[in-house]
Chain A
Amino acid sequence: MADMERIATVRPGFVLEVDERTPPLLVHSGAGVLLERFPLGTRVVYPPQPRAGVGDVDAAIGAALAEPLDSAPLSALLRPGMRLAISVDDVRTPQPRMRRGDVRGRILEQVLGAAAAAGVDEVTLVVANGLHRRLGAAEVAGIVGERVFRSFWPTGLVCHDAEDAANLVEVGVSDAGEPVAVARAVAEADLLVAVGIVQGPGQGGLGALVEGLSSYASLRAVHSVAAVTQAAAAGAGGGGVVEGRLVQGAAAERLGAVLGAAVPVFAVAATVDAAVGPGPFLTRREWEWSPADQAMAFGVGRGLELLGGRGRARVLRDLAADYAITSLSAGQPQRVAAAAWQAVDAQQRVDVDGQSDVVVVGLPPFGAYQGGAPADPVLAAHGALAEVFARHRGRPVVRENGAMIVYHPVAARFSQLHQPSYVDFYEEVLAESADPATIEAKFERQYATDPWYASLYRTSRAHHGVHPFHRWYETAPARAHLAEVVFVGGDRAACARLGYRAASTLADALEIVAGSVGRDPSITYLHSPPQLITDVR
């Protein structure tokens, strides 16, 4: 009965202070989970528990399409003989992937149903993968659903190709003089419907749309070190709503405005709750674990450790979560993004009193760019320093010149299929320098225009040649903010290559950072998996 009540009422996030009675806490460590005892006095930031979703998702989609934000209903925008383009987010969101029937497929069916009812014949669907790897047929089918997939693949449903010059059309020039080229199907459409899932702040909106449908030349300015630093300085780390105002990188906003002026855009966005992985123990507090939860946590940790190699890779690859759809909104893209960010914010925000000297994070075995696999060194650094570090509302949880301790086995293992440019980036570029500005000036152009990487991007499933650069630049604000970064359980050589330190235990890591933060630092642990937004006062 008590269990039922606990599930029925959603509890907000809170900060726990570790005392003698605190049990060992769950920490994600790249490829698995472990239970760790933290020093007394450590603050543990728990995200709010997952919220209940909307009851009838199909009805909610219908209501969102019929009563959009700042726009006429979708059925009023459709007319016979028009050219309709539909863009769909790729596998980056949500992570881990959605089990059984992705909500984007259900949205697409309603959008296409409305188009069919309005007599629209010319429909093109584009998977907005931008400079990220193009998807395989099974992955696309998983996103759009079998019905839409079989109806349109491979002629009417394509993955965006940022290297296909013949298929990119310039739709305008931004205020700063950057030409914006997008996929031809989108540029020549009478209406673009953008379908996506928002899982974190800063996702969605016109800026993200351009990023998914444009080319390296257009996106260069958005991802430059200067633009990333400027966006971080503007307020929210990864973008979001600050005091009711949209904050996204200025460069992304610039390009988004060009696309918005060239093509009428109708956005549909769903937000998901914080369900992660198998079993509810990942989202429960440790002291409330049932014996089954305890056994599960221990068994998963040890089991993955014992499995090792291919077995573990298989388990992680098949990782999927049962998400609840917490909100659905449609209409003008920026309004939709703001509404989605508000829903995400309400679901993930935790108030924290003051900054601390050290922040501890555990990286989960899933992420936007690595899919269901433990991250390589570059993406591990990106996960900690760009994704987790940016989850704040204006003020990071760790003080300037503080330290970050990350649980991750920073092993130099890369995906042969997806990351050919990462291998060379790690071997050649990082061997020379780890400073983003230096790398940008010296190596970016060479990698971005390399015909071999372009060929693998176009014909195989590889990330674009410039992909590791952009991920590395996004760590720049955190690198500037932090004095030290230590990876617990990390490979020493790989950490040294990144410019960081490795430690075998948390105690060792605290010993290492003692030089910069002192012998008795204040410690904050962002509870795994760190799907939360800290509001530091």
Chain B
Amino acid sequence: MGRPRRGVGLREAARGFRRGGPPWAPVGEAGRAARPAAREFPTGWARSGAARTTRAAFLRGVMNPLLHVSLTADAHGAEVFDTVRDTPVIIVSNHTSHLDAPLLLCSLPGWVRSRTAVTAAADYFFGSVWRGASSALAFATVPIDRSGGAPSSTPMDLLRDGWNLVIFPEGTRSRDGARGRFRLGAAYLAINAGVPVVPVGVRGAFAAMPRGRSWPVPGRPQVTVRFGRPLRPVPGEDVRTFTARLAAEVDRLCAEDATSWWDATRAALAEQPSDSPTPPAPGGRGGPPRQPTAADHADGDADGLFPAAGPALAGPALGGPRLRGGDDGANGSPSAGGAAPTAAVGEARTLGRHRPRAAARSGTGPVSISARLRGAPGTPTARWRRIWAATEPLPRSTSRSPWRR
């Protein structure tokens, strides 16, 4: 034991170094000073003709074969894009793995893929110049700031220029394979830009390459991409209701893959509260809109696409009843940026808490404990069973590889 050294060693010091990108500021510093409008990573060049040609060659010649070598990848329902040939679309998917974006892009018809951009977290993908540039070139990513603040105008500009946009409304990859809460950005964009949304269910990607892995698990696991029919916001539908509709459709698509289309459709109809039509009646206020589930609006809305501050909600297209805040304290953590004022939460509570569970079994009386445990329709157990079935493919007991039997 020598003399205690002053200061940190080289290893410790190197941990704080960065090899590119903006300097890290202490959290306290960032919180104190008003965040300047961050300079957005330039990605316009990645949508030029040369970059598109390069990308098309990369996706078709490298990425697609690679995916099919390492996965058993299937895509169904891509013909829905034939019905929306005349308008750009927003493609909304669940997000469980880094495989999602390449899989999704490779499953699109060529003419859609050539004009499709993927929204990606600015803090993750555009942290360094190399990472940002390569992902922009390979997957046409555009940076989205997840830390709150003024939303970027790029997504809206892209839609106006006729580009399709892939958005993962969860904002991040799932930690456990189950779908996370959908943020409101995608629905907000769809309503304001007046474009349809194509919901997509990707199933099996979590089992194939969960967080923490950089390569799919061996044995060519099954991954399925299912495109649903395009959804359009009905006149007067508000952002939350439309988001809930999108989330329900993505869930249904995952469940469809786990079971079958017929079973998933019936299950979705059984789950739906009897007094809420889907889609909600035009006008929004005329009939009760489909209430988002607890997970849909549990906490903040900051996903970089939706204006997080309360007043911004009162846009011209938002005619429906506004629901803010969660319905129970357990999930109702404050907004990520602290943007939603408490007054708005209190107001929402006075406007009316939704009670989807009570509505679902109105007239049938309370469900007994044993029924809940058994997983009778309409109970949380049944819902969780379906979510598990939809998100976790059954583990393959035997591998196809002759060396892994």
Which residues of chain A have a CB within 8 Å of any CB of chain B? 56-58, 100-101, 109, 112-113, 116-117, 123, 146-148, 150-152
8 Å CB contact of A57 from B77, B83, B262, B269: B83
Contact A101 B79 (CB under 8 A): yes
Residues of A within 8 Å of B260, CB to CB, are 147, 150-152
Bound state CA distance, A24 and B262, in angstroms? 53
Q: Can you list 19 A-B contacts (CB < 8 A)?
A: A56-B83, A57-B83, A58-B83, A100-B82, A101-B82, A113-B265, A116-B262, A116-B265, A116-B266, A117-B269, A146-B76, A147-B76, A147-B261, A148-B262, A151-B260, A151-B261, A151-B262, A151-B263, A152-B262
Asked if B383 CB lies within 8 Å of chain A CBs, one says: no
Q: In the bound complex, what is the Cα–Cα distance between A57 and B79 (angstroms)?
A: 13
Compute the total of residue contacts between A and B using a CB distance below 8 Å. 35
Question: Is the pair B269, A116 in contact by a Cβ cutoff of 8 Å?
Answer: yes
Closest-CB distance, B17 to chain A (whole angstroms): 52
A278 to chain B, nearest CB (A): 17
Cα distance A57–B82 in the bound complex, in angstroms: 11
A58 to B82, CA, bound (A): 12
Question: Is B303's CB within 8 Å of the partner chain A?
Answer: no
Q: Which residue of A lies closest to B78 (CB)?
A: A100
Q: B349 in the interface, Cβ–Cβ < 8 Å? A: no
Taking CB atoms, residues of chain A closer than 8 Å to B170 are: none
User: From residue 30 to 84 of chain B, which have CB atoms closer than 8 A to chain A?
Assistant: 76-77, 79, 82-83
Chain B residues near A100: list those with CB within 8 A: 79, 82
The B255-272 residues at the A interface (CB cut-off 8 A) are 256, 260-263, 265-266, 269
Inter-subunit contact A148/B79 (CB<8 Å): no
Q: Which chain B residues numbered 235 to 271 have a C-beta less than 8 Å away from chain A?
A: 256, 260-263, 265-266, 269
Residues of A contacting B266 with CB < 8 Å?
116
State the Cβ distance, B339 to closest chain A Cβ, in Å.
39
A193 to B: closest C-beta gap in Å: 15
Given A57-B83, A147-B260, A151-B261, 15 additional A-B pairs, CB 8 A: A56-B83, A58-B83, A58-B229, A101-B79, A101-B82, A112-B262, A112-B265, A116-B265, A116-B266, A117-B269, A123-B262, A146-B76, A146-B77, A148-B261, A148-B262
Residues of B contacting A57 with CB < 8 Å?
83
Instruction: Give the complex CA separation of A151 and B76 in angstroms.
Output: 14
* Nearest-CB residue, chain B, relative to A322: B82
Q: How far is the CA of A116 from the CA of B229 in the complex (A)?
A: 17
Complex contacts, A112 vs chain B, CB 8 Å: 262, 265
**What's the least CB distance linking B251 to chain A, in Å?**
16
Residues on A with C-beta less than 8 A from B261 are: 109, 147-148, 150-151
Residues on the B chain within 8 Å of A148, using CB: 261-262
Q: Report B-chain residues with C-beta under 8 Å of the C-beta of A146.
A: 76-77
Query: Considering the chains assembled together, what is the distance between the CA atoms of A36 and B24 in angstroms?
Result: 78
Seen from chain B, the residues whose Cβ lies within 8 Å of a Cβ on chain A are 76-77, 79, 82-83, 229, 256, 260-263, 265-266, 269
A147-B229 in contact given A101-B82, A112-B265, A116-B265 (Cβ < 8 Å) = no
Please indicate the chain B residues that have their CB under 8 angstroms from the CB of A117 in the complex: 269
CA distance A151 to B259 in the complex (A): 8
Q: Is the CB of B83 within 8 A of A147?
A: no
Given contacts A58-B229, A116-B262, A147 and B82 within 8 Å (CB-CB):
no
**Closest Cβ–Cβ distance, residue A118 to chain B (whole Å):** 10
Residues of B within 8 A of A109 (CB): 261
A123 to B262, CA, bound (A): 10
Q: What's the least CB distance linking B53 to chain A, in Å?
A: 24
Q: Given known contacts A112-B262, A113-B265, A117-B269, is B256 in contact with A147 (CB within 8 Å)?
A: yes
Please name all residues of chain B whose beta carbon is closer than 8 Å to the beta carbon of A147 when the two chains form the complex: 76-77, 256, 260-261
Instruction: For the complex, give the distance between the alpha carbons of A256 and B116 in Å.
Output: 52
Measured between alpha carbons, how far is A145 from B59 in the docked complex, in Å? 27
For residue A58, which residues in chain B have a CB less than 8 angstroms away from its CB?
83, 229
Which are the 10 A-B pairs with shortest beta-carbon distances? Answer: A151-B262, A147-B261, A151-B260, A101-B79, A116-B266, A100-B79, A151-B261, A116-B265, A146-B76, A150-B260
Task: Give the Cβ gap from B115 to chain A, nearest Cβ, in Å.
Answer: 19
Distance A231 CA – B169 CA, assembled complex (angstroms): 62
Give the Cβ gap from B213 to chain A, nearest Cβ, in Å.
Answer: 29
**Alpha-carbon separation in the docked complex, A57 to B85 (Å):** 13
**Complexed CA–CA distance, A58 and B83 (Å):** 9
Q: How far apart are the CA atoms of A151 and B79 in the complex, in Å?
A: 19
A125–chain B nearest beta-carbon distance, Å = 10
| Chain A residues closer than 8 Å to B83, beta-carbon distance | 56-58
User: Which of A100, A113, A151 neighbours the largest number of chain B CB atoms within 10 Å of its CB?
Assistant: A151
CA distance A101 to B227 in the complex (A): 13
Min CB gap A59→B, angstroms: 10
Tell me the smallest distance from the CB of B110 to a CB of chain A, in Å: 13
- Please report the C-alpha to C-alpha distance between residue A83 and residue B262 in the assembled complex, in whole angstroms: 16
Q: Kindly list chain B residues whose C-beta atoms are within 8 Å of the C-beta of A152.
A: 260, 262
Nearest B residue to A147, CB-CB: B261
Contacts of B82 in A (CB 8 A): 100-101
Which chain A residues lie closer than 8 Å to B229 at the CB level?
A: 58
The CA-CA distance from A460 to B315 in the complex, in Å, is 63
Which residues of chain A have C-beta atoms less than 8 A from B263's C-beta?
151
Closest partner residue, chain A, to B230 (CB atom): A58
A365 to B82, CA, bound (A): 27
Please, how many angstroms separate the alpha-carbon atoms of A147 and B259 in the complex? 11
- Given the complex of chains A and B, what is the CA–CA distance between A109 and B264 in angstroms? 13
Shortest distance from the beta carbon of A390 to any chain B beta carbon, whole Å: 34
Q: Quote the shortest CB–CB distance from B273 to chain A (angstroms).
A: 14
CA distance A445 to B260 in the complex (A): 44
Instruction: With CB as the reference atom, state the residue of chain B lying closest to A118.
Output: B269
Give the complex CA separation of A308 and B76 in angstroms: 34
Q: Smallest CB–CB gap between A369 and chain B, Å?
A: 28
- The distance in angstroms between the C-alpha atoms of A123 and B266, with both chains bound, is 13
Residues on A with C-beta less than 8 A from B262 are: 112, 116, 123, 148, 151-152
Docked complex Cα distance between A113 and B266 (Å): 8
Determine how close the nearest CB of chain B comes to the CB of A121; give it in whole angstroms. Answer: 8
A150: chain B residues at CB < 8 Å are 260-261
What is the CA–CA distance of A56 and B232 in the complex, to the nearest angstrom? 13
B76 / chain A contacts, CB cutoff of 8 Å:
146-147
A317, chain B: closest CB distance, angstroms: 21
A123 nearest CB neighbor, chain B only:
B262
Residues of A within 8 A of B256 (CB): 147
Taken together as a complex, chains A and B put the C-alpha atoms of A116 and B278 apart, in Å, by 14
Chain A CB within 10 A, most for which of B83, B229, B256: B83
| Chain A CB within 10 A, most for which of B82, B261, B265 | B261
Smallest Cβ distance from A114 to chain B, in angstroms?
Answer: 11
Residues of chain B lying within 8 A (CB to CB) of residue A116? 262, 265-266, 269
The chain A residue with its CB closest to the CB of B261 is A147
Q: Which residues of A contact B77 (CB under 8 A)?
A: 146-147
| Most chain B beta carbons < 10 A, residue from A58, A116, A123 | A116
Which single residue of chain B is at the shortest CB-CB distance from A100? B79
Q: How long is the Cα–Cα vector from A54 to B405 in the complex, in angstroms?
A: 54
Distance of A152 Cα from B265 Cα, bound (Å): 13
A100 to B266, CA, bound (A): 26
CB distance from A81 to the nearest CB of B (A): 14
Q: How far is the CA of A123 from the CA of B260 in the complex (A)?
A: 14
Assembled-state Cα–Cα distance A58/B262 (Å): 18
Kindly provide the distance from the CB of B81 to the nearest chain A CB, expressed in whole angstroms.
10
CB distance from A449 to the nearest CB of B (A): 39
Kindly state the separation between the CA atoms of A148 and B262 in the bound complex, as whole angstroms: 7
